[in-house]
Amino acid sequence: MTAKVTLVGAGPGGRGLLTLAGAAAIEQADAVVFDRLVDESILDLIPAGAVRVNVGKENNHHPVPQEQINEILVQLAREGKNVVRLKGGDCYLFGRGGEECEYLRASGVPFAVIPGVTSALAAPAFAGIPVTHRDFCSSVHIITAHARAGKPLQIDFNSLVRLRGTLVFLMGLTALEQVMDGLLAAHIAPDMPAAVIENGTRGIQRKVVATVSVLADKARAAGLKSPALIIVGEVCALSDKLDWFTPLPLHGKTIIVTRPRARAGTLANRLHALGANVVEAPCIETVQRTDVQPLADALAQKHDWAVFTSPAGVHAAVHALGKLGRDLRALYGMRFAVIGRGTADALADYGLAADLVPVQYDGTHLAHALAAAMPQGGAALLLRAAAGGQVLPETLLDAGVRVTDVPLYDTVYRCAKADALRIMLEQNAADVVTFTSVSTVEGFVRAVGAADYTGFTALCIGEQTAGAARRYGMHVKTAENATIDAMIDALGMED
């Protein structure tokens, strides 16, 4: 592929608001140069081996000057890399994307531009404000209200007010009073509805809606901070009526998901769909065992049931069989038991149906259901983690079942987001931390180190996980069953 730079608009920050083309470009990148406003969930898409360059700009503080960013892009492209330049919102809207492309053109570096969802339109949509509406206005204007230090705003307020359209001001929080005064001086109706939207589209979005005459006072009183935009116009009067985001059941809650990435997706997506601000911070990783001899030995004996206790176990079994030069047909004749629906889904990905799923998704219920389904003196082949709990094999043995426990993978405590987690805990920024196994509790505790674990609710799947969380002094809520629905139900009840 020709080395080139692709400018990608990363969207306004809310989960899922990156375009498909943008995601594909990031996944193929050798180097990614990104800004401060680009959301972590998007940075998670950057391939592990790719170069990451953070050129994030703080307000009034430019760690990397624009000329240097331009030069970084050209340098990386000349090294033959496929470069993605990731910018918040849309690349060309107040993002200096135009300047970067001019420099690339002058340097002879081919480039492409993938537009993004701009905060100017998306944040109002998440705040219940349609930027145009036939009953109110027929135009929307996007204006920068960035004031150079100590200088007055360069905005022609008279012309703006005369347009009678919706006005959206970006980069305007510092100059909020100046913007409102400018509009009032240009004879906008003092009771014209307006709003400030902070962190638009993110789970932590906040908004203040008021008339132009009092908006600045109210927004300051609420302590709204950057990133935020100002929107002015009659459409703002619809903000309550058309608000669909704030009423979501988990709106305003920041929830940390600690399970490994491959399995975090569904839980994180569901929590997000319910309005939560989801932070994915996997605290454990699974590592396949290289020694597959125990599996080879086990396959030489006859077993009635193969038992899987996690999706990772299913994938590890397929992988280990592959290393033996075999495949899932090596389990031919056995019936399949799984601990829960997630594991059944993992089997289904290989075209296999689970024969047994216990009513309650834990080791004890699985063992009892399995023992009841076994022939007298039957044998079970456990294909699972090396450090799997003892409840399952012991309960099976007690019930007279022969057990072969094959360790297929190890769970290692590794967390790339440890620093971010520590800061969140210090700032009391997490409402809930989800734990889906004892090992996620251990991984989390190791990642954050000696910290106060009482500032959040530990939402745990099953009693064993809850016990581990309680040992660290966490406030625990326990999901009745290992389903996302049960976890969400548990959030609403006192433990």
Catalytic residue ranges = 35, 57
Alpha-carbon span 54 to 103, nearest angstrom: 19
Q: In 406-420, which positions are buried (b, 16+ CB within 10 angstroms) versus exposed (e)?
A: bbbbebeeebebbeb
30 is an interface residue for ligand SAH by CB under 6 A: no
* Integer Cα distance of 62 and 69 in angstroms: 11
Instruction: Please choose, out of 70-78, 186-194, 223-231, 325-333, the segment that lies near ligand SAH by the rule CB under 6 A.
Output: 223-231
Among candidate residues 120, 44, 30, the one with its CA nearest the CA of residue 73:
30
CB 25 within 8 A of CB 137: no
**Backbone φ and ψ of 423, nearest 5°:** -65, -40
Cβ proximity to ligand SAH: between 170 and 232 the closer is 170
Is there binding between residue 171 and ligand SAH (CB under 6 A)?
yes
* CB closer to ligand SAH, 89 vs 393: 89
CA neighbor of 286 nearest in space, from 478, 437, 468, 466: 437
Q: For ligand SAH, which is the closer residue by CB, 276 or 433?
A: 276
Distance CA 300, CA 158 (A): 86
Does residue 93 bind ligand SAH (CB under 6 A)?
yes
Structure tokens at 471: 């040992």
Contact by Cβ (8 Å): 477, 461: no
Q: How far apart are CA 459 and CA 477, in angstroms?
A: 5
Note whether 203 binds ligand SAH by CB under 6 A: no
Residues between 101 and 160 with contacts to ligand SAH, criterion CB under 6 A: 118-120, 123
228 near ligand SAH, judged by CB under 6 A: yes
In the range 229-268, which residues lie near ligand SAH by CB under 6 A?
229
* 376 contact partners, CB below 8 Å, separation of at least 6: 400
- Closest to ligand SAH by CB, 58 vs 135, is 58
- By beta-carbon proximity to ligand SAH, the closer residue of 119 and 411 is 119
Q: Rg (Cα) of the chain, in Å, rounded?
A: 27
Going by the DSSP 8-state scheme, the letter that residue 148 receives in this structure is: P
Separation between Cα atoms, residue 174 and residue 325, nearest integer Å: 65
Residue with the CB atom nearest ligand SAH in the bound state: 89
> Among 29, 153, 170, 179, which residue sits at the site for ligand SAH (rule: CB under 6 A)?
170
Of 407-466, which residues contact ligand SAH (CB under 6 A)? none
Q: Which of 15, 22, 84, 94 touches ligand SAH by CB under 6 A?
A: 94
Q: Measured from the CB of residue 424, what is the shortest distance to ligand SAH in angstroms? A: 19
Pick from 406, 405, 396: nearest CA to 369: 396
Within 31-60, which residues bind ligand SAH (CB under 6 A)? 37
CB 230 within 8 A of CB 168: yes
Residues 124, 200, 260, 388: which binds ligand SAH (CB under 6 A)?
200
Q: Does 308 bind ligand SAH (CB under 6 A)?
A: no
The distance of closest approach from Cβ of residue 438 to ligand SAH in the complex, given in angstroms and rounded to an integer, is 37
Q: Least distance (Å) from ligand SAH to the CB of residue 194? A: 14
Question: Cβ atoms within 10 A of the Cβ of 248, count?
Answer: 16
> Taking the complex as a whole, how short is the minimal distance between the CB of residue 301 and ligand SAH, in angstroms?
59
Nearer to ligand SAH, 14 or 313 (CB): 14
Q: Where are the alpha helices (DSSP H) in 274-407?
A: 293-299, 311-323, 341-348, 363-373, 391-398
Kindly tell me which residue out of 197, 354, 448, 490 binds ligand SAH, with binding defined by CB under 6 A: 197
Least distance in Å: CB of 61 to ligand SAH? 14
Helix (H, G, I), strand (E, B) or coil at 87: strand
**Nearer Cβ to ligand SAH (118/343):** 118
Say whether residue 90 binds ligand SAH (CB under 6 A). yes
For CA atoms 482, 485, 488, 494, give the dihedral sign. negative
Omega before residue 130 within 30° of 0, cis: no
- Rule CB under 6 A: is residue 22 a binding residue for ligand SAH? no
Strand partners, 112: 6
For the segment 2-21, give every residue that binds ligand SAH (CB under 6 A): 12-13
For residue 488, which amino acid is it?
I
Nearer to ligand SAH by C-beta: 201 or 309?
201
88 binds ligand SAH (CB under 6 A): yes
Which residues form the interface with ligand SAH (CB under 6 A)? 12-13, 37, 88-90, 93-95, 118-120, 123, 170-171, 197, 199-202, 226-229
